[in-house]
Structure 1
């Protein structure tokens, strides 16, 4: 079954081609992974026999700049979940980003979410590592760790809504590759069931502190320390450092708790809005 992903930019490309009287337009309908030529005519865009978008439908997509529409079986639906809160995939110039209730869950300014997640993985992962990926979201860091040569990646995501969106995201499809194990559940709870010194690297990309403060606690950092082998590495995304009223920054508090948990070589990685550390 063919499916096509369209957003404001490529709908506009199609409308421009129609306005110029062209018979084809070159589009990426898998969110910048590949491109191919599609037929256009005075009525609209022809993706295939079952999926043809009228000019009115293309104009609707153009107006919704922060949305991605999935076109399949003749239907056109936004890639979103409103069952609990508002979860959606939003377009970028590369891989889509996850947005929850209006908050972007990735670094996307001046880069794209897959690239920044890959750089996070590179901070901790080397070839042959067994990797724990906490709070995996769309799974970009897990896929990057696997591509770096990790022998196994265990990736944990709490939200079934996020897992549902990533199952529809073409950039997340490599999560199905051999060597990546996906678990749905709480990183805070599941890490307590894991054996000591069972991982070479950990990538920890939690929601913001106000939503999941326990994932920034010394107690949780001690669990990460416990499951890492000696010399093992951690990259911890903290998000934009914001200054607390006392004058000490949020990230300084993270660093203090990581050191209290036993980590050494704890350093800010400013361009990735995070911290690296070693056991």
Structure 2
């Protein structure tokens, strides 16, 4: 695989402060590995031979809102189309779509946020997990690290492309225990057989962007494909509660019960709801 090196303003500042060769981390601190960067006049020379001018490095050093990567050239980890997508230099990175971050980052980080969701249903060795909305794949990766086989769904090809760029998402495509399906979760779940999954982790976009993924019709499909005794975690968040006194979680819980789920309760630390499918009598 072709080497890729990652820069944020932090690494750029370290390079600009150096007088000669310097060893720094270039995988967004996913590992403790360090690469040696040399200087040739006003250029920084990366291990693959790519040369980055001081002017470009200074521009990256001033940009605290973006991730850059080097692969025979310098690129911003962003995609512009119908919407604007980018990696945000939190550690690990989150994804931002039209200015909206896909992970909680205030008082936490995307990895802690992910673990709080996965811990709500505790996937175990040998279980099969459905992750309905992949994003950067942190949920799928965390579940697979616990010994589960994971099927994850992502509707947006641009999100999948950013996941391929992001070093923290690499296990999605290399681990062998995760299957990625591109498609709309509302339609994809209809193709699964009854009682396929031990665990479902449902972390949809906000209600205003994907209301169908909060519908009773969708919850009935999740109920159908979950094994008896299977566990569901549904991230809801608290949109609108502070200002409009709306309780989206309450409506979600009512629809889950109508769909057949039992033991439906809030998980405050993960801003979501857990539920179970009744076991066989």
TM-score, shorter chain, exceeding 0.5: yes
SS of 1:240 mapped into structure 2? coil
Q: Which among 144, 150, 153 is matched to residue 150 of structure 2?
A: 153
Larger CA deviation: 95-104 vs 242-251: 242-251
Question: CA shift at 1:142, angstroms?
Answer: 0.6
Q: Which among 103, 107, 116 is matched to residue 106 of structure 1?
A: 103
SS of 1:226 mapped into structure 2? helix
Q: Which residue in 2 is equivalent to 1:13?
A: 14
Larger CA deviation: 31-40 vs 227-236: 31-40
**What is the alpha-carbon distance in structure 1 between the residues aligned to residue 106 and residue 15 of structure 2?**
26
CA RMSD of aligned residues (A): 1.8
Question: CA shift at 1:262, angstroms?
Answer: 1.6
Q: Which among 184, 187, 191 is matched to residue 186 of structure 1?
A: 184
Please tell me whether the aligned partners of residues 197 and 228 of structure 1 are also in contact (alpha carbons under 8 angstroms).
yes
Q: Which consecutive segments of 4 or more residues in structure 1 shift more than 6 A?
A: none
Question: CA shift at 1:48, angstroms?
Answer: 2.2
Q: Which residue in 1 is equivalent to 2:120?
A: 123
Q: Is there any run of 5+ residues in structure 2 with no aligned partner, and where?
A: none
**What is the alpha-carbon distance in structure 1 between the residues aligned to residue 229 and residue 70 of structure 2?**
48
Q: Which residue in 2 is equivalent to 1:201?
A: 199
Please tell me whether the aligned partners of residues 26 and 38 of structure 1 are also in contact (alpha carbons under 8 angstroms).
yes
Q: Which residue in 2 is equivalent to 1:264?
A: 262
Please tell me whether the aligned partners of residues 214 and 252 of structure 2 are also in contact (alpha carbons under 8 angstroms).
yes
1:223 and 2:221 are equivalent in the alignment: yes
Q: Which residue in 2 is equivalent to 1:72?
A: 71
Give 1:34-183 correspondences, 5 Å limit: 34=31, 35-41=33-39, 43-48=42-47, 50-73=49-72, 75-92=73-90, 94-124=91-121, 125-150=123-148, 152-176=149-173, 177-183=175-181
Larger CA deviation: 248-257 vs 83-92: 248-257
Q: Is there any run of 5+ residues in structure 1 with no aligned partner, and where?
A: none
Paired residues, what number?
272
**What is the alpha-carbon distance in structure 1 between the residues aligned to residue 243 and residue 109 of structure 2?**
32
SS of 2:150 mapped into structure 1? strand
Please tell me whether the aligned partners of residues 116 and 269 of structure 2 are also in contact (alpha carbons under 8 angstroms).
no
Please tell me whether the aligned partners of residues 238 and 248 of structure 2 are also in contact (alpha carbons under 8 angstroms).
no
**What is the alpha-carbon distance in structure 2 between the residues aligned to residue 39 and residue 246 of structure 1?**
52
**What is the alpha-carbon distance in structure 2 between the residues aligned to residue 39 and residue 130 of structure 1?**
43
**What is the alpha-carbon distance in structure 1 between the residues aligned to residue 209 and residue 253 of structure 2?**
19
Give 1:234-245 correspondences, 5 Å limit: 234-243=232-241
Q: Which among 210, 213, 231 is matched to residue 211 of structure 2?
A: 213
1:274 and 2:272 are equivalent in the alignment: yes
Please tell me whether the aligned partners of residues 240 and 246 of structure 2 are also in contact (alpha carbons under 8 angstroms).
no
Please tell me whether the aligned partners of residues 259 and 266 of structure 1 are also in contact (alpha carbons under 8 angstroms).
yes
Q: What CA deviation, in whole Å up to 9, does each residue of 1:168-201 have, x standing for no partner?
A: 1111111122221110001101111111111000
Aligned pair in 2 of structure 1 residues 87, 256: CA closer, same or farther (>3 Å)?
same
**What is the alpha-carbon distance in structure 2 between the residues aligned to residue 2 and residue 123 of structure 1?**
37
**What is the alpha-carbon distance in structure 2 between the residues aligned to residue 241 and residue 278 of structure 1?**
24
Please tell me whether the aligned partners of residues 38 and 46 of structure 1 are also in contact (alpha carbons under 8 angstroms).
no
**What is the alpha-carbon distance in structure 1 between the residues aligned to residue 245 and residue 88 of structure 2?**
35
**What is the alpha-carbon distance in structure 1 between the residues aligned to residue 257 and residue 48 of structure 2?**
60
